[in-house]
Amino acid sequence: MFKGVPTLANLNLRFLKGNSRIALLLPRGKATATSLDLEDANANPNNTPNTNKINVDVYSEEDLLKRAKFGHTGKQVQQKISSEKKLRTPPLLNLVFANRKLSFYDTSSGPKPCEENAKLNQRRNYSIRPHREQEQRNAEDVLFDMFASEETGLISMGKFLAGLKTTGIRRTDPRVRELMDNLKKVHKLNNYETGSSAETQHLNRETFKAVVSPNIVLIAKAFRQQFVIPDFSSFTKDIEEIYANCKANTSGKLADYIPQLARYSPNLWGVSVCTVDGQRFSIGDVDEPFTLQSCSKPLTYAIALEKLGPKVVHSFVGQEPSGRNFNELVLDQNKKPHNPMINAGAILTCSLMNALVKPDMTSAEIFDYTMSWFKRLSGGEYISFNNAVFLSEREAADRNYALGFYMRENKCFPKRTNLKEVMDYYFQCCSMETNCEAMSVIAASLANGGICPTTEEKVFRPEVIRDVLSIMHSCGTYDYSGQFAFKVGLPAKTGVSGGMMLVIPNVMGIFAWSPPLDTLGNTVRGLQFCDELVSRFNFHRYDNLKHLSNKKDPRKHRYETKGLSIVNLLFSAASGDVTALRRHRLSGMDITLADYDGRTALHLAASEGHLECVKFLLEQCHVPHNPKDRWGNLPVDEAENFCHSDVVEYLKSWAEKSKDAPQECFPEAVTTTTEADEELPTNTTTSVSHSGNTSPIPSESGFRSPSPLSSEAESTASVASVDKTKPGL
Ligand code: GLU
């Protein structure tokens, strides 16, 4: 009878027969019967409970990978594995479930070797319940065990923080402030034993738990890879590559309408990334200060929207791309500036701030007020003001003044607008100083519906952000906006100082900065960066997330997907479902995949006595006939153990003939069918090119199947050829 862990209640563990031990690689939070379409464990009325204890190691694949990565597989684990190998029964069930290591008791009739039980073909079901003590292990303990040294029993905080960094969480993240403060306190209590750095301390379990516990929710999420980009370090490798490609691009010219912009080195190039979960990555000149310029436009527009609502704001300014230069002396047919991203529209937005949002504030107060919004959006990172740029902007502003007067003539401004103050305010917004780091957090706040990912402060309402992003999408890159929307398909805003604020809604914000501009005023390297980004990742708004396979989706969990595939494959083999196996094969899946214990589809098909599956796997999929699981068992051993004499005979004969079969004389192309293939439509034939020998065992239909000795590469090639000719499959 099932007790505890309800999501596993319906798990049909029938392929845990005999000495099988299987790692079910279930995704976090998805270990439900529904999601995996598993059968009901209680379907077998003959279940008779016993009290044999089964140790159940519950790992996530990430956990295992991390253990490997951080060198903590440990002697104990090795010893455990070898002792299990000796015992072989009862089966040790290895479930990936929420990163927790649990023990379960077998409450069913346990698996028995062939001689002891003639009815071994019957499916066996297990009910499981968690071992209470182990279940109570909390996240802090798990983390400690993951990182602690077996020799000293202490955890190196340096290693721990480095591990945290690979997930994208920095030591300076406000969400781990308590942890860092606690570390300093412990350092002080220990009389600064480790010298000047609190981060190089080695802590025991209790101290570690006390230090991390205030921030454990975030930390556990990080190590469970539950952020929007689960494999952050591999994502950042791509960013590094794209960064390097763009660095080589030396085209473009610096803006020179004011001396401060003309003085920048054209080699400056920085990229900062911040995800909606606050995962950070930066490369290049990311601390170099520059002025916001036009990148301030979406931000002041957002404040106006937040305070006045879209109705009021858009009674003064349009939403259409102008199709004209960013500072063109032109209004739309309603005598309004075209949109808030061009100069006329941004000056108009400034007038709304001045006359409607804060009519009672002095210019100085509005400046502070605006800066405080920018700061909140950036999670308190570097936002300052460059007075030299401000003064230069004001000096070189004939066109902007012309725009102001032209709009005043056309009665564009709200009543009580003081044009001089408005113009100064506009120049001040353009002259706010920042860097890539801070701007990536601002971009991430926009990606995150107005909530700053690092401080978790709700700065803007989501509706405001939706409007801002819509306008950025259609009007954010000057006269290139149409092409940018087409090619990159993401909201962005560029500025004349070389900034490119890119928003991937619900995923991340990226800020790329490099001063050389193209003829339309966009940063050359920034544009190339965006192009390369969307050609690698399926970030374009209209990329199909399901079917487009030539791009990476960093939102998905690499190993989670792989783990699920293995589970599906093994379940298909264990249940004798040849149709499902064929589907896996036609979708290009590697049929030789094994679970954590090295058990393959062939092991499971053999142990369950599914001769058709065994034939299909060998004859059609060309899987090796002799893979060993972690106990050294071959598929034929499994078949023998469970008295499947037909399978034993077939496998032995295959092995025998494989041994004898010559390597040459393999036909150029073989059209193969087996009984298993009879379900395929008549026009579905698998054309396979091989250079090995023919099958030692002719299939029942009389066709000669490819050699079991054919290489994996050939087998992959055959699958690829099927895929090409049968895209619908
Ligand atoms: N301060 C510049 C102007 O108003 C901003 C231009 C820009 O970044 O597009 O002319």
pLDDT at site 549: 66
Tell whether 286 and 381 lie within a shared domain: yes
Structure tokens at 555: 């939102």
Atom of ligand 1 nearest to the CA of 497: 8
Atom of ligand 1 nearest to the CA of 397: 10
138 CA from centroid of ligand 1 (Å)? 54
CB of 426 closer than 8 Å to CB of 350: yes
Calpha distance 430→389 (Å, rounded): 9
Tell whether 252 and 149 lie within a shared domain: no
Has residue 238 been placed in a domain? no
Has residue 596 been placed in a domain? yes
pLDDT at site 663: 44
Q: Which residues contact 361 (CB under 8 A, 6 or more apart)?
A: 369
pLDDT digits (tens, 9 = 90+) for 411-452: 999 999 999 999 999 999 999 999 999 999 999 999 999 999
pLDDT digits (tens, 9 = 90+) for 597-634: 889 999 999 999 999 999 999 998 999 999 999 889 99
pLDDT at site 36: 30
Tell whether 126 and 156 lie within a shared domain: no
Has residue 547 been placed in a domain? no
CB of 143 closer than 8 Å to CB of 161: no
Has residue 466 been placed in a domain? yes
Tell whether 368 and 310 lie within a shared domain: yes
Considering all CA atoms of the chain, what is the largest pairwise distance in Å, rounded to the nearest integer? 100
Which residue's alpha carbon is at the smallest distance from atom 4 of ligand 1? Answer: 343
Q: Residue 310: pLDDT above 50?
A: yes
Has residue 553 been placed in a domain? no
> In 3D, which of 344, 337, 246 has the Cα closest to residue 294?
344
Calpha distance 448→92 (Å, rounded): 43
510 CA from centroid of ligand 1 (Å)? 21
CB of 514 closer than 8 Å to CB of 525: yes
CB of 377 closer than 8 Å to CB of 445: yes
DSSP annotation string for 601-653? HHHHHHHHT-HHHHHIIIIIS---S----TT---HHHHHHHTT-HHHHHHHHH
CATH number at residue 286: 3.40.710.10
Residue 327 near ligand 1, beta carbon < 6 Å = yes
Has residue 12 been placed in a domain? no
Calpha distance 504→681 (Å, rounded): 43
pLDDT digits (tens, 9 = 90+) for 493-525: 999 999 999 999 999 999 999 999 999 999 999
Atom of ligand 1 nearest to the CA of 294: 8
> In 3D, which of 255, 282, 253, 252 has the Cα closest to residue 270?
282
Has residue 72 been placed in a domain? no
Tell whether 347 and 408 lie within a shared domain: yes
Atom of ligand 1 nearest to the CA of 430: 1
Beta bridge partners of 253: 517
Which helix (H) or strand (E) segment holds residue 290: the answer is strand 290-291
Lowest mean pLDDT among 10-14, 57-61, 117-121: 10-14
Tell whether 622 and 512 lie within a shared domain: no
Calpha distance 44→95 (Å, rounded): 22
Range of the domain at 114: 90-135
pLDDT at site 138: 84
The one-letter code for the residue type at 193 is: E
Residue 529 near ligand 1, beta carbon < 6 Å = no
Lowest mean pLDDT among 16-30, 97-111, 467-481: 97-111
462 CA from centroid of ligand 1 (Å)? 27
Beta bridge partners of 670: 688
CB of 164 closer than 8 Å to CB of 149: no
Tell whether 512 and 391 lie within a shared domain: yes
Tell whether 167 and 283 lie within a shared domain: no
CB of 125 closer than 8 Å to CB of 17: no
CATH number at residue 168: 1.10.238.210
Residue 42 near ligand 1, beta carbon < 6 Å = no
Percentage of the chain beyond pLDDT 90 is 60
400 CA from centroid of ligand 1 (Å)? 9
Atom of ligand 1 nearest to the CA of 295: 8
CB of 9 closer than 8 Å to CB of 97: no
Q: How many H-runs (helices) and E-runs (strands) does the chain carry?
A: 28, 17
487, 521, 536 - which closes a domain = 536
CATH number at residue 660: 1.25.40.20
* Placement of tokens 């990311």 in the chain: 286
CB of 44 closer than 8 Å to CB of 123: yes
Which helix (H) or strand (E) segment holds residue 147: the answer is helix 139-147
Structure tokens at 451: 């909530």
pLDDT at site 25: 39
Distances, alpha carbon 538 to alpha carbons 482, 502, 543, 637, in Å = 19, 15, 6, 45
Residue 298 near ligand 1, beta carbon < 6 Å = no
pLDDT at site 567: 82
Number of domains in the chain: 4
Residue 392 near ligand 1, beta carbon < 6 Å = no
Tell whether 523 and 626 lie within a shared domain: no
Residue 707 near ligand 1, beta carbon < 6 Å = no
Tell whether 448 and 353 lie within a shared domain: yes
Q: What is the pTM of this model?
A: 0.64
Has residue 2 been placed in a domain? no
Atom of ligand 1 nearest to the CA of 343: 4
pLDDT digits (tens, 9 = 90+) for 556-597: 765 556 666 788 888 899 999 987 888 777 666 788 888 878
Calpha distance 562→27 (Å, rounded): 10
Which residue's alpha carbon is at the smallest distance from atom 9 of ligand 1? Answer: 294
Which helix (H) or strand (E) segment holds residue 104: the answer is strand 104-105
Sign of CA dihedral 518, 347, 268, 263: positive
pLDDT at site 209: 95
223, 258, 290 - which closes a domain = 223
Tell whether 579 and 672 lie within a shared domain: yes
Q: Residue 490: pLDDT above 90?
A: yes
Residue 32 near ligand 1, beta carbon < 6 Å = no
**Which phi and psi (to 5°) does residue 105 adopt?**
-105, 140
327 CA from centroid of ligand 1 (Å)? 8
432 CA from centroid of ligand 1 (Å)? 12
Give, for ligand 1, the residue of 260, 294, 301, 386 to mutate: max count of ligand atoms closer than 8 Å to Cβ: 294
Tell whether 328 and 466 lie within a shared domain: yes
pLDDT digits (tens, 9 = 90+) for 643-653: 999 999 999 99
Beta strands in 4-95 (DSSP E): 23-24, 53-54, 56-58, 93-95
343 CA from centroid of ligand 1 (Å)? 7
75, 102, 135 - which closes a domain = 135
